[in-house]
Structures are given as structure tokens and as C-alpha cells.
Structure 1
Amino acid sequence: MEECEASRDVLLSDTMDQFRTFQMCERFLQNPAKLANQLLFQIPPDRQAMLIERYYAFDDAFAREVLGKKLSKGTKKDLDDVSAKTAIMLKSCRRQFDNFKRVFKVVEELKGPLVENIRQHFLLPDQLARDYAAIVFFANNRFETGKKKLQYLTFQDFAFCAGQLINNWTVGAVDNMVEDMDVDLDKEFLQDLKDLKMLITDKDLLDQHKSLVCVALRGKTKVFNEMEANFKNLSRGLVNIAAKLTNTKDVRDFFIDLVEKFIEPCKSEKWTSTDVNLYLTHYTNSAHILDSFKHQTVWTRYMGVIKSCILRMYH
């Protein structure tokens, strides 16, 4: 104040003017495309981009709390608790929640790639658009994220996995102009996953698969004996997750199933991330050598996502 030779009243008045300006500007920020065409405020394009990005920015801690929940009035009523838990101001929580809901409502009516729709309609930078895509995807599929065993996972862990699922398992991953776009999992693919059960129900195939994986792993890791001993249980876990994904409840439990059926058993045997990567690489590749296994395309599409998600979640 002394440097500017401004009185307290002048500073207060100027600050209040700024707040009023932002309040008037907010309605344009809620539909960013209108900001460039309005005549009320003279804002350079680079400042417009900054305003939009900051308005739609959110706290990962807040997003983690509402991830996978329905973006409804009921959830909004619980924001007091979220605010207390995350130490984020309630007003900020409400803005962030309203932004999530607004983006969700707009893009659920649009065809085509989810990230691109968000980026174009809300003029967001690429990474922020991808984070919003994760929020929309989780809200649509209602993935369980609140269980105690999942608390160690961050928003960015889940956002990474959402990106994998969107890019590989949705209808839009096959055809980017379909009606259902990128928020719905490809039902035909989920149905095809049931064919993978032969890897665990056919005893000869299960034994062959185990033998091929063990030959590839022998001498490459200190936990080889544990890998050999746990092969059948781990394989049953991963294949059963695949076979159950036609059920909505099992889709919701996807992440808890990965933790319980694969990540926890590996951690209990003291596998490192490098061990897990090595195991999943040979587990995936060895299935391609099995003569009587004819579902290679579905297997590759399934295991590519499973491997990426497990490696991200393994910490």
C-alpha cells in the first residue's frame, strides 16, 4: 500500500470491483465458447485461456473423494464432509462439483471421442481435458473407489487407468463416431471376454500356459518359486475378472478385484514392480504360443489394459 501510495479504502474498493467483475464473468466461463464472442469484457485471448483453465482447475484430493459417485444433489449435500476431510473451502468444493456436473451433462449428449469433446467444448488444455474425461467415465460407470483397500490409490492413479479403459475397452476405441462415444464399455468385447475362461477351465491348457511362463521366467527373478507356486491362483483371478465384466456390479468392482485377486497376493510374496512387469509380460505373451487358444485379439486387448492398470496401482 505504501509503495502504491494507495489508501486502504481505495484498495478495498478496487478489490471489490475485481470480485464483481469476476462474478459477472462467471456465466461466460460456464460456457467458455461464449467468452471469446462477448463484448462486455475486453480480455486478450491468452488471458481468456488462463481464466478458463483456472476456473476449471480442481484439487486432486477433492476429485478423489467424489470419483465414481453419482454427480447428483445427494452427493452435493455431502460436500460439507468432503470440505472438512480435504481442508478445501466449501465454496471451492461446490464450484468444482458444479464444473464436474456441467461437463458430464454436456458431453453425455455428444458423439465422438470423449477427451476431444471436452477439449473443444470447454476449451481446456489437453491434460485437464483428460482428467475431466476420467471423472466423466467414472461417474458414468460408477466404479467403486471408496473401499478401504483402495484408499492408497490417488486420483491420478485412477485417471491413468480411466485413460487406458477409454482408449482400449470402450465402443469409441473401435469406432470414434458411434452414438455411445467413449463413456460406455464395448459390450461385444465384454461378451467375448467370456471365451478366455478356457485358459483356466481346460486343465491341459492351464498346465501348458504355466509351463511356458515358467520356462520364460526361470533364472530371471528372485521370486521365481513364488511365481510358479501362485501361477494358477493368479491366472484364475485375472481370467475370472474378465469373464464377469458383463455384469454391471462386477464392472463397478473392477479395481477392488484387481487389488484383491492380483496386487495383494503379489505384495504378500514381496514382488517388486519389476517382478510384476516381468510376470505379466510373459503371462500375456505365452498365451499367444498356445496352439488350441484362438482368442488372441481379445486376449491382447484385455491384458494390455490389465497390465498397465496393475503396474500403475502397484505401489
Structure 2
Amino acid sequence: MSMVLDVFVGNTTIMDMDIYQLWLDGLTVREAVKARMDQGALLECEANAEVLMSDTMDQFRTFQLCERLLHSPTKLANQLLFQIPSQHQRMLIEKYYEFDSVFAREVLGKKLSKGTKKDLDDISSKTGITLKSCRRQFDNFKRVFKVVEDLKGPLVENIQHHFLLTDTQARDYAAIVFFANSRFETGKRKLQYLSFQDFAYCASQLIQYWTTGAVGELHLYSMVEDMDVDLEKEFLHELKDLKVLVNDKNMLDQHKVLVCAALRGKIKVYRLMEANFKNLSRALINLASKLTHTKDVRDLFIDLVEKVIEPCRCDRWTLGEVTLFLTQYTNAAHGLGTFSRQVVWDRYMGVIRSCILRMYHE
């Protein structure tokens, strides 16, 4: 008997992105086969379970061989072992470096070390994310951190350049690097209501305005520093000058008068605001004056919650009322003729206002 076969030969590496996702999720081959069967793969492909197992194993093997290249994404385009179309290369990289926000929230602010890695079993149980996936995500955080922590220039751009990530991904990784470097406290019970994206937003504000790489007119220094990882020490030292706003009684009273005049009739909590103005102002200014100390920098977010957000919540301020107060509180300082630190004030309050409004969950 003669048999006619149609044979196609090519050198393009075939990768199924659905199976890739199962591999990234940390499933075993058998778990992945079951997942594919549940999704109707047997009917779709007109195959039996044995063929499905063989196909899944082959795909998993290919992904494992590619993984070492994904650790250095810029090498993926230049290697000769796998012929992968450029659009698939981008998808492989982006998906490999995707992470679960709930996982990132658990490790945010912690040292990316072996000690933290030992806690991944507990994090896996708590979040429901497989241990294998937790390890991949943690190793990606650590890898990005080690590559960019000592590089000069903008943090987001460095991450994009070395890991070929999207702008959104690069910004999220920048937040992780920034928090790991400064070791901000994020684990206290009072901070548990805040999501990873809440902290990532605050990190972007701090990076943009408080680091030595702060852009625009505020950028007075050359591009020779570790630009976006460390807070600018000279700026933190200058924040002590803001103490005059609460230490000088005449200036404190004048500031209060200006804010009250701007808010009278515009917020329901006006009387509470008027009665508590000095306490709120002292909380904001005292927080600024302490940021020369490493411990106080690490406690920035817990201080914002305890000293500002919780008191306003207790008095049932709405987010809109907090927004109006912080806006007028900031602007009123420009009406104080004897107050000479306007640039430092705006740089400080711009970030504090943005962070408080993001962290204020009604």
C-alpha cells in the first residue's frame, strides 16, 4: 500500500500563548493538560488525551529552554537557537515579567533577599498563587533591582532599556525597586487597606519630585547621581525650614485665617476643620521636618495615615473636602509675605497632597 503524507518543514518556533500562561502560572504538565481539557481543547483540536499531553510537554520544554534568555530580554532577539517572530518575543517578555498585584503587595518594601524568599511558602498559601509563580515573580523583582539599582539616569527608562517592558510595567517595577531601596514600611495593620497600585502611585510621585532626578525647574543637579532611587538629601534637609509655619504663632494664625476664608461655606466639616487646623498643620509640618532621619522616611506612609488620614476619617471628611482643604492649605502659604520657602513648600506639599488623596479611602 502506498501512503501520501503532507509534510511541512520550518524553523520558526511555535509557541502557544495559552499554554505559556499555564506554565507561567506554575502548573505542572498534568495540571496544564487538565486545564486545557476543561477549556475544551480535545474538541477544538480533535485530539485525544495522549496527544494533548505530548503537545503540552513539548511546549513546556520549549518554555524552559527559553527561560534563561528571558532573564536578559535584550539577548532574545540576537540568539540563534530559537527563531521567534518579533511580536511573539515581545509577548513572551511582557508575560514573563507580569506579576500579581496581591503578590507584589506582600513583598513591597521588604528586602529582596534570601530571607524574604523563605517566606514565599506563606505568601503562596495566603494569596492562592502557586509557589512556582511566586518564585518567578520574586526572582524577577530581584533581577530588575540588581540591574538598575546603581545605574545613572531615570529609573523607568533604565528598566525599559534593559528589560524591554511596556511603560506601565516599567513604572510598576520602578515602584518595587524604589520601595525595596528605601525600605518604606508597608506591612503595618493600619496600611493593609492600601493596594499595590496605591503605593505604586505614591512611589511615582516621590520619584518624580523628591529624588535627585526630579525633573523640570526643580532639577538643579547634574546627571551624575543615582538619580531616581535615592531621595535628595539636600531637599530633605531644606524641609526643616518649613517649621516656621507652625513655630511662628503669627504666621500660623495668618495661615489659618487665609485657609478658613477660602473654605467658609464650601465644606460641611468647616467648624471641625477650623477647630483642628493647628493640629493638622503641625502634623503635616512635623512630618516634613523629620524626613532627614532614615527611620522617619521609612515611616512616611504610616505617619500620613495616623497623623492626617485617620483624624479626618474620624471627623467624616469626604474625599472632596480633603481635596479642597489640602489645595487651599497649600495655596494659602503663598499669601504669607514673610514665608520665603515657597519652592520647597510646593515641592513638598505637591507630593504629600497627591499621596494623601490616593490613600484616602472613604
2:43, 2:297 → 1: CA distance? 61
CA gap of 1:139–1:314, structure 2 versus 1, over 3 A, is same
Tell me whether 1:303 sits opposite 2:349 in the alignment. yes
Tell me whether 1:86 sits opposite 2:127 in the alignment. yes
The TM-score with structure 1 as length reference comes to 0.98
Count of residues paired in the alignment: 315
Tell me whether 1:72 sits opposite 2:117 in the alignment. no
2:312, 2:66 → 1: CA distance? 52
Alignment match, 2:240: 194
What CA RMSD, in Å, does the superposition of the two structures yield over aligned residues? Answer: 1.0
CA gap of 1:235–1:33, structure 2 versus 1, over 3 A, is same
1:74, 1:254 → 2: CA distance? 24
| Equivalent position to 2:303, from 254, 257, 260 | 257
Tell me whether 1:228 sits opposite 2:274 in the alignment. yes
**Is the contact made by 1:68 and 1:139 (CA closer than 8 Å) also made in structure 2?**
yes
1:56, 1:263 → 2: CA distance? 34
The Cα offsets for residues 10-34 of structure 1, whole Å up to 9 and x where unpaired, read as: 2211211111100000011000000
1:1-315 matches, cutoff 5 A: 1-2=42-43, 4-173=45-214, 174=219, 175=221, 177-315=223-361
> Shift of the alpha carbon at 1:180?
1.1
Structure 1 segments, 4+ long, off by >3 Å, are 2-5
CA gap of 1:159–1:176, structure 2 versus 1, over 3 A, is farther
The Cα offsets for residues 88-129 of structure 1, whole Å up to 9 and x where unpaired, read as: 101100000000000000001211000000011100000010
1:95, 1:128 → 2: CA distance? 16
**Is the contact made by 1:113 and 1:177 (CA closer than 8 Å) also made in structure 2?**
no
1:5, 1:203 → 2: CA distance? 82
- Give the % identical residues: 75
Q: Any stretches of 5+ residues in structure 2 without a counterpart?
A: 1-41
Deviates more, 1:176-185 or 1:45-54: 176-185
The Cα offsets for residues 22-48 of structure 1, whole Å up to 9 and x where unpaired, read as: 000001100000001111111111111
Deviates more, 1:121-130 or 1:5-14: 5-14
1:39, 1:272 → 2: CA distance? 59
CA gap of 1:4–1:87, structure 2 versus 1, over 3 A, is closer
Secondary structure at 1:100 match in 2: helix
**Is the contact made by 1:171 and 1:178 (CA closer than 8 Å) also made in structure 2?**
no
**Is the contact made by 1:197 and 1:239 (CA closer than 8 Å) also made in structure 2?**
yes
Pick 1 or 2: higher relative contact order, CA cutoff 8 A, min separation 6. 1
Secondary structure at 1:124 match in 2: coil
> Shift of the alpha carbon at 1:2?
4.8
The TM-score with structure 2 as length reference comes to 0.86
> Shift of the alpha carbon at 1:3?
5.0
**Is the contact made by 1:60 and 1:156 (CA closer than 8 Å) also made in structure 2?**
yes
1:2, 1:221 → 2: CA distance? 62
Secondary structure at 2:146 match in 1: helix
2:173, 2:270 → 1: CA distance? 41
2:188, 2:222 → 1: CA distance? 33
